[in-house]
Amino acid sequence: MKKSIACIAVSVFLLPAVFCQDVSHEFGKFSQEEIAMTTFARDPQAEAVVLSDVGELKFVDARNGYELEFSRIKKTKVLTRAGIKYSEVSIPLYTGNDGRSESLKTLIAKSYNFENGVMKATNLNPSSVYEERLNNRWIVKKFVFPDVKPGTIMEYLYIMTSPFLFNLPEWEFQARIPTVYSKYTLYVIPFYEYAFIAQGTNKFDIQSSTVDKNFRTFGAVDEVMGQQVGTGVKFQQMVHVYGMRNVPAFRDESYITSVDDYIMKIEFQLAKFNNPYGPKEEIMSTWPKLIEDLMRAEEFGKYLRQSEKNAEKAVAGIKFTETGDLAKVREIINNVKTSYKWDGYSSIYASKVPKDFAAQKTGNSTDINLFLIAMLRAAGFDADPVLSSTRANGRISTQYPFLHYFNYVLALVTTPEGKILCDGTDIYTRFDRIPTRCINDRGLIINSKGENWVTLSSAVISLDEKRLIMEPDPQSLKSKTQLAIQATEFDGAYYRRNFEDDTLEIRKFLEETGFSQVSKTGTFNFANNEKSYTITCSGETEIEQIDNKLVISPFLNFYQGENKLTQQTRTYPIDFTYANTESYKCNIKIPAGYKVVNLPENYLVDNDIVKIFTSYKAEGDVLEIDCSYGFKKSLYQPANYRDIKIYFDTIVRKFHEQVILEKV
């Protein structure tokens, strides 16, 4: 599903066989080289290294046919104290619509430390494994390796069973630390064929497809005088192996949708079922067929239709204060935002029946947005669901009609002024915007008109403007400082969401950005998302004295102190989510008996990518500072990476310059 698709086959099992000699990677066995390793030669800066990661998938007999058994053995060497964070492990488990779920059958984890010539193993205490629910479909089993320090080898083995044959477990060859060896072996019965999607690479170091020498049976099969009798089928499995060696770390995670969009991995999706007693069945859907199935689904299309009566009542209960279609749409959307509470779960299916949702006024993203669509329709507007994927979930590849890649539903409504994408879960954004978590390439419109897509990006430019007045006092080495932050659009939503108009949270933020004391705060327009959100405060900031000079940091700590783009090159886009402008205006009152020296130079660059502007001007006893920067688009291609990295270097430097006042 991801954006970077390296190679594609209708069935992974039609790929040519490539045979490679393999080595043993058994549980609990390590080489002397692995034990003695203190740095990784291929990546000396690595905090840790994956020594080996070996997975195996089998189809095992179950009561109603087959289920999947997935096993994994992973060994990781900790090299530095910073690498200790890789001692935390998460194992995701999926639950389907029908209540069936994946389960963890076996889990063994050990930490190995080589001390005084002896290898000491510390076992994971099973009671320390805990469970975290992400949403109504996913839970995560978590644990932390015991007794981990630089030099520790961490190893775990787990076996997971799954009833979901439609989607084999994916395999990630790449991690945030380098990987020496990664291999995935699949033993697949011939009744199922799968689509194969490789991301981030078009070549494997190890790749083979062979026929298993052993025979298996489905149903009752006997042999009489060398002849097969009975109603069952005798068959041989296909064995498919994919492996990579010396995979580099995935380090540059700044300004991307999701690591999952770009990391080297392989995925499988059921494409065809070869019925042993009948004809073949094509499983691979088409977008029109997928749309049709959703419109008939109990927890989607049927939910939407059954919401009509409750939606009509909800619309009738709104006391509209304005006239006009756009105003009516605004009030309906805002009514949903304030009247119904999102439970934090994202899904493409409703979690409850419409009657219960209307009564309880809480639900997942689909409960809320399908009900919003029903309300818009009840008010006479043309509105449709939009199937989408959040940024954290990854982008959709329009080449593959796989439903499980989606995890969110938005609303699209047509007004005389044009089409509006909206969302009823986010109380901090404008009625005609979607949350930043949903700004992710495109979404699929679900209606009877066939396959149609809508762009989810936003052309709106947000503004984050800060205005300061500073009055430095040479005696106390403090500056009386007044601040006003004015933020529009997505920047305004950011402040609203993070502070929730909470004075204590705002004070904490101001103290982190350079205020040594905050005496007074105020906010404006918190409840009106269509106006800029404003935060004001007065307090004190520190100044520094060196000999007879005062050193003032006019930008405080509002801007990042280092360039987040650290790699020399990049093969994937730079994604800022939305375009914004950062504006900073500061007036510094020059104390009596002081003058400005070493004033930073004015600067301007204005091109197709960015505008960076700084101006310093001393007039009388006031120093006026006017600075701003903004990237002009939300998304840039890898070809622009080098230039953007240089511009960030400039921004970091220019927005941390200091002003020096000298005693006359």
* pLDDT band with cut points at 50, 70 and 90 for residue 275: confident
Other residues' Cβ atoms within 10 Å of the Cβ of residue 517: 15
Q: Which amino acid is at 572?
A: Y
**Among residues 186, 170, 180, 206, which one has the least CA distance to residue 75?**
180
- Residues near 276 by beta carbon (within 8 Å), at least 6 away in sequence: 191, 218, 219, 233, 235
Q: Which of 27-31, 235-239, 402-406 is modeled with the greatest confidence?
A: 235-239
Q: In the predicted model, what is the mean pLDDT of residues 572-584?
A: 96
* Confidence (pLDDT) at 221: 65
* β-pair type (461-473, 579-589): parallel
Distance of alpha carbon 354 from alpha carbon 369, whole angstroms: 12
Q: Whole-model pTM?
A: 0.85
- How many other C-beta atoms are found inside a 10 Å radius of the C-beta of residue 5? 16
Quick count: other Cβ atoms within 10 Å of Cβ 605? Answer: 12
Per-residue pLDDT at 226: 56
What are the two backbone dihedrals, phi and then psi, of residue 634, each rounded to the nearest 5 degrees? -90, -20
Structure tokens at 347: 């899904």
pLDDT at 222: 65
| pLDDT for position 229 | 57
Q: End-to-end distance of the chain based on CA atoms, in angstroms?
A: 67
* Tokens found for residue 234: 């005798």
* Helical packing angle, 308-316 and 325-339, nearest 10°: 110
Q: Token pair for residue 450? A: 């066939």
Contacts with 71 (C-beta within 8 Å, 6 or more apart), sequence order? 55, 56, 106, 157, 158, 159, 160
Question: Amino acid identity of 512?
Answer: E
Three-state SS sequence of 109-149 = EEEEEEECCEEEEEECCHHHCEEEECCCCEEEEEEECCCCC
**Enclosing H/E stretch for 467:** strand 461-473
Of residues 536 and 118, more confidently modeled: 536
Higher pLDDT, 487 or 233: 487
SS3 state of residue 168: coil
141-145, 287-291, 396-400, 421-425: least confidently modelled range: 396-400
Alpha carbon 378 to chain centroid, angstroms: 35
The yes-or-no verdict on residue 47 having pLDDT over 90 is yes
pLDDT for position 22: 38
φ, ψ dihedrals at 59, nearest 5°: -95, 120
* CB of 528 closer than 8 Å to CB of 642: no
* Of residues 282, 198, 240, 283, the one with CA closest to residue 59: 240
Statement: residue 526 has pLDDT above 80: yes
pLDDT in tens, 315-336: 999 999 988 999 999 999 999 9
Per-residue pLDDT, averaged over 546-550, amounts to 92
Predicted confidence at residue 253, as pLDDT, reads 76
Class of the domain covering 287-455 = alpha beta
Q: Is pLDDT of 20 > 50?
A: no
Does residue 619 or residue 485 have the better pLDDT? 485
Ranges of each domain in the chain? 5-282, 287-455, 461-663
Residue with tokens 């006391």: 319
Angle, in degrees to the nearest 10, between helices 365-378 and 308-316: 70
Give the integer Cα–Cα distance in Å for 111 and 318: 61
What is the pLDDT at residue 133? Answer: 87
Q: Give residue-wise pLDDT tens across range 641-660.
A: 999 999 999 999 999 999 99
The helix (run of H) or strand (run of E) holding residue 377 is helix 365-378
Mean pLDDT of the 76-96 span: 95
Q: Supply the pLDDT for residue 270.
A: 87
Give pLDDT tens digits for 140-177: 999 999 999 999 999 999 999 999 988 899 999 999 99
Measured CA to CA, the distance from residue 503 to residue 521 in angstroms comes to: 7
Name the pLDDT band for 272 (thresholds 50, 70, 90): confident
Instruction: Choose among 388, 428, 434: nearest CA to 578.
Output: 434
What distance in Å separates the CA atoms of residue 114 and residue 386, rounded to the nearest whole number?
55
Taken in order 499, 363, 398, 189, the sign of the CA dihedral is positive
Q: Which of 579, 576, 561, 558 shows the shortest CA–CA distance to 641?
A: 576
**pLDDT reported for residue 228:** 58
- Bridge pairing between strands 635-636 and 622-631: unpaired
| Nearest residue to 432 via CA among 335, 530, 287 | 530
What is the topology classification, in CATH, of domain 461-663? Jelly Rolls (2.60.120)
Class of domain 5-282: mainly beta
3 contact partners, CB below 8 Å, separation of at least 6: 261, 262, 395, 397, 441, 572
Share of the chain above pLDDT 90, in %: 75
Beta-strand pair 362-363/341-342: parallel
pLDDT at 28: 82
Q: Rounded to whole angstroms, what are the CA distances from 412 to 372, 415, 447, 456, 593?
A: 10, 10, 11, 11, 63
Rounded-to-10 torsion of CA 38, 44, 47, 50? -80
Task: Return the SS3 of 259.
Answer: helix
Average pLDDT, integer, range 463-467: 98
Encode pLDDT of 116-137 as tens digits.
888 899 999 999 999 998 877 7
